[in-house]
Amino acid sequence: MSYLREFFQSMTGRLFVWLAFGMAMAALIATLVTNLYSSREFEQQLAERTADLLDGYSRFLDAAPLELRARLLRDGVTGVRLLTETAAGTPDPEFTGALAARGGVIAGATAETAGIDVCFPEIRNFPNADMAERLQRLRPFLVAGGSSFVPPECRIVSLRLRDGTALKLSLSTPWVQRLRSRLLDPAFLGLFGVGIVLLAFGAARFASAPLRRMAEASADLGRDLDRPPLALKGPREVRQAAAAFNSMQARLQSHFAERTQMLAAITHDLQTPLTRLRLRLERVEDEALRERLVADLQAMRALIDEGLELARSADSAESNVMLDLDSLLGSLVEDAADAGADARFLGGCGAVLPLRALATRRMFANLIDNAVKHGGSVEVTVERTLAGVRVLVRDHGPGLPEGMLERAFEPFVRAEDSRSRETGGTGLGLTIARALATKSGALLTLHNDPEGGLEAQVAWPAS
C-alpha cells in the first residue's frame, strides 16, 4: 500500500491516472458514437430493404392482370398484406420521403407507423393478453445466443396504382439478426482495459523520465558539485532545462573554486605577517603576556587553517576509489591509541564502498579526535543493516543537550558549556565532517547514547 501511495503521489502516477482516465473516456465515447452511427446505418439499410420489398410488390401489382392482382392482394407476400380493417397510425415522413425518392408507383405513397398487431393480427387472438404480454410471448424468438433479432416494425402505406386503384397495405420490416455491442463482451472489455493501462503507464513513464533525471541530478549536485553534466537530449524543452541546469552547475563550480582560491590566497598571504608577529612576540619580556599572545596567535592560525579546510571540503576534485571501511577505521583507531588516547575498534562488517580516500579519512579523523577531546575515549563500530552501512563513533563524555545536537554542525558553534571546559577548538570540526559526509553521499547525525556519551553516526543508504 505504501508503494501505491508513493506511486500515485509521484508525477508518473498522476500522469498515469489522467492518461488512463482520458484514454478510457475517449475510447468509450468513440465506441458509443460508432455504435450510434452503426445503429443508424443499420436502421437505414433495414428501411431500404423494406422499401425495396414494397417497390417490387407494387410494380408487380401494377403490371399484373386484374385476376392475378386480386389473388396477390388476397394472399399477400412476406411482410406485405392488404389492409381490410380500419387502422390508423402516426405519419412517418422519413419513410414517405424514401418512397418518393424511388419514383414509380410508390412515388406518391404515404407511410404511417402503427402497432405490431396491425401487421400481425394473430397476436390479437391471444386470450386475455395485452400488448406487453403478447410481446413477452414472442421473446424466445427475439433473442438467440450472443446475437439478437430485431423485432419487426409495422407501417401502413397508402398508395394508388396507375389505373387509379387505391390500396392500403400493412408493411412490416423483416426479421433480421444484429450482433450485440462489443462493449458488453467481458473479453473485449478486459483486453481493452489492459491495453489502456499499459499504454498509459508507458506514456507516463516516458513523459516523466526527464523530470526524474533532473531530480536525480539535482540530488547528486548537492552531494557532488563535480558530477558529470546532464546529457542534452530529448524534446526541445527538456534540452533547454538540461542546458540551464548545466549552466547553473558550471557557475556554482566557478563560484566555489573562486572562493577556495581566494581563501587559499588569503591564508598564504597571512603566513608572512603571522611569522613576523611570532618573531616579535618572542621579544616580549613579560613571560605571562608573551605566552598569552602566542596562544592567541596560534588560535588565529588554527582558525585560518580550519576555514580553508572547510572551503576545500565542499570543493574537491578527488576521485572515488573502492575503500575498505574496516581497514581505514582500524588504522585511524590505532593511530589514536598510539597517541595515548583510549580508542577501540569494536568490529567491522567487511563493507567496501566507492569513496574519496583522503576526504573520508579526514572526516573520521575529525570525529575520532572530537570524541577523544570531549569524551575522553572513543569506540568505533561498522555495521551493515537493511538500510545500508553505518559507522558509529561513540565517546563516554557528558553528551549534548537535545537542542544542541543539530546546532553543533553549524560553523563556529561550540558546546563548551555542556562539555569539557578545558578543551577548545574553532567550532568547525563537525561542520567540516558533515560537509565531507554529504559529499560522499552519507548522512552524519549526532545522538545521545542511553548509557551515556555522545554517538556520531555516518550512514550510507543501501542504494
Question: Under a CB-based contact definition with an 8 Å cutoff, are residues 5 and 14 in contact?
Answer: no
Question: Under a CB-based contact definition with an 8 Å cutoff, are residues 136 and 123 in contact?
Answer: no
Three cell numbers at 186? 467481458
Q: How confident is the model at residue 421 (pLDDT cuts 50, 70, 90)?
A: very low
Nearest partner of 146 among 173, 192, 175, 184, judged by Cα: 184
pLDDT at position 294 over 70: yes
Q: What is the pLDDT of residue 279?
A: 81
Question: What is the reported pTM?
Answer: 0.48
Three cell numbers at 32? 458509443
Collapsing DSSP to helix, strand or coil, 171 comes out as: strand
Per-residue pLDDT tens for 228-257? Answer: 888 888 788 888 888 998 899 888 878 877
Q: What is the pLDDT of residue 83?
A: 83
Lowest mean pLDDT among 63-72, 140-149, 231-240, 357-366: 140-149
Q: What is the pLDDT of residue 128?
A: 52
Q: Specify the higher pLDDT residue, 339 or 136.
A: 339
Q: What is the pLDDT of residue 409?
A: 81
Q: Where are the beta strands (DSSP E) in 83-132?
A: 90-91, 110-114
pLDDT at position 293 over 70: yes
Q: How confident is the model at residue 172 (pLDDT cuts 50, 70, 90)?
A: confident
Torsions phi, psi for 272 (to 5 deg): -65, -55
Q: What is the pLDDT of residue 124?
A: 65
Q: Where are the beta strands (DSSP E) in 68-205?
A: 80-82, 90-91, 110-114, 143-144, 147-150, 154-160, 166-172, 176-179
Q: Is 99 left (phi over 0), alpha (psi -120 to 50) or beta?
A: alpha
Q: For domain 318-461, which architecture applies?
A: 2-Layer Sandwich (3.30)
For CATH 3.30.565.10, the residue range(s) in the chain are 318-461
Q: What is the pLDDT of residue 419?
A: 42
Three cell numbers at 144? 438467440
d(CA 314, CA 222): 10
Q: What is the pLDDT of residue 427?
A: 67
Determine what percent of the chain is predicted with pLDDT higher than 90.
Answer: 7
Distances (CA, A) of 218 to 10, 224, 227, 230: 17, 10, 10, 10
Q: What does 290-344 look like in DSSP terms, one character per residue?
A: HHHHHHHHHHHHHHHHHHHHHHHHTS--PPPEEEEHHHHHHHHHHHHHHTT-EEE
Buried/exposed code over 254-272 (b: 16+ C-beta within 10 A; e: otherwise) = eebeeebeebeeebeeeee
Interacting residues of 238 by C-beta distance below 8 A, sequence separation 6+:
210
Per-residue pLDDT tens for 129-140? Answer: 555 555 555 555
Torsions phi, psi for 319 (to 5 deg): -90, 160
Mean pLDDT score of the chain: 80
Residue in this structure with the C-alpha cell 498509459, named with its chain if needed: 200
Number of H helices, E strands in the chain: 13, 15
Q: Among 280-294, 313-327, 364-378, which range has the highest average pLDDT?
A: 364-378
pLDDT at position 143 over 50: no
Residue in this structure with the C-alpha cell 406485405, named with its chain if needed: 80
For CATH 1.10.287.130, the residue range(s) in the chain are 224-317
Interacting residues of 69 by C-beta distance below 8 A, sequence separation 6+:
61
Q: What is the pLDDT of residue 390?
A: 92
- For the domain spanning 224-317, the CATH number is 1.10.287.130
Average pLDDT over residues 108-128: 76
pLDDT at position 146 over 50: no
